[in-house]
């Protein structure tokens, strides 16, 4: 509960610490990019990033519990959710450079059922003891899905999810 209160308090500062944008959107594709300021060194940001069970919003899980999430940060590793009576693979790790890059093949949320492809890339860059986290999500699929109409919603959700990451990673112990 304490971590949730910390994340909620830090999320209140999100507009000053993040910038997000729908860079491109069409019927069959979208690209959303965010830049987050993380008040922590890259190693601390990385340690937080690979533990979504500590920061991912619970209402963006199938189980309703962030504790059900895990990432195995190695090529081929799973960004998975496991709970009593079910499990889901949210993404597959395709690239890892510890403290710098995590890339997942990830059709997040309802995109999985729509047979849409997504690449989620998180790049960390440390400067003067703080870290910039660049998050990009490139999605492509069938034009009948009208992805341009979903782009603003995905933009908002990514901001929420990775805003929670940036807030959690930059918390003071």
C-alpha pair distances (Å), 93 with each of 9, 170, 173: 30, 24, 29
- Residue 66 confidence (pLDDT) above 80: yes
What does pLDDT average to over the chain? 89
- Residue 6 reports pLDDT greater than 50: no
Average pLDDT over residues 54-63: 94
pTM: predicted TM-score of the whole model, two decimal places:
0.87
Q: Is the pLDDT of residue 11 over 60?
A: no
For residue 153, how many other CB atoms are within 10 A of its CB?
10
Q: What pLDDT does residue 15 have?
A: 38
One-letter-per-residue 3-state SS of the chain: CHHHHHHHHHHCCHHHHEEEEEEEEECCEEEEEEEEEECCCHHHHHHHHCCHHHCCCHHHCCCCCHHHEEECCCCCCEEEEEECCEEEEEEEEEEEECCCEEEEECCCHHHCCCCCEEEEEEEEEEECCEEEEEEEEEEECCHHHCHHHHHHHHHHHHHHHHHHHHHHHCCCC
Q: Which of 116, 108, 74, 75 is nearest to 91 (CA)?
A: 108
Considering only CA atoms, which of 25, 29, 23 is closest in space to residue 143? 29
Closest CA to 99 of 38, 163, 34, 160: 38
pLDDT at 10 over 50: no
pLDDT at 18: 65
Q: Which two tokens stand for residue 171?
A: 């918390």
- Please, are residues 106 and 92 in contact by the beta-carbon 8 Å criterion? yes
Topology given in CATH for the domain delimited by 2-169: Alpha-D-Glucose-1,6-Bisphosphate; Chain A, domain 4 (3.30.530)
| pLDDT tens-digit series, residues 24-52 | 999 999 999 999 999 999 999 999 999 99
pLDDT digits (tens, 9 = 90+) for 13-24: 333 356 789 999
- Write down the domain spans for the chain: 2-169
Per-residue pLDDT tens digits for 81-118: 999 999 999 999 999 999 999 999 999 988 988 999 99
């Amino acid at each position: 509960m304490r971590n949730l209160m910390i994340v909620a308090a830090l999320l209140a500062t999100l507009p000053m610490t993040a910038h997000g944008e729908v860079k491109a959107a069409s019927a069959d594709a979208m690209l959303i990019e965010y830049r987050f300021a993380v008040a922590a060194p890259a190693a601390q940001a990385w340690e937080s990033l690979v533990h979504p069970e500590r920061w991912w919003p619970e209402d963006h899980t199938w189980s309703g519990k962030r504790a059900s999430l895990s990432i195995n940060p190695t090529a081929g590793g799973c960004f998975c959710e496991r709970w009593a009576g079910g499990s889901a693979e949210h993404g597959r790790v395709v690239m890892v450079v510890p403290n710098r890059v995590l890339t997942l093949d990830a059709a997040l949320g309802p995109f999985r059922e729509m047979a849409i492809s997504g690449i989620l890339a998180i790049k960390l860059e440390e400067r003067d003891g703080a870290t910039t986290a660049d998050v990009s999500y490139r999605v492509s699929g069938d034009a009948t899905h009208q992805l341009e109409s979903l782009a603003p919603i995905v933009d908002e959700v990514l901001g929420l999810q990775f805003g929670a990451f940036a807030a959690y990673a930059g918390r003071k112990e």
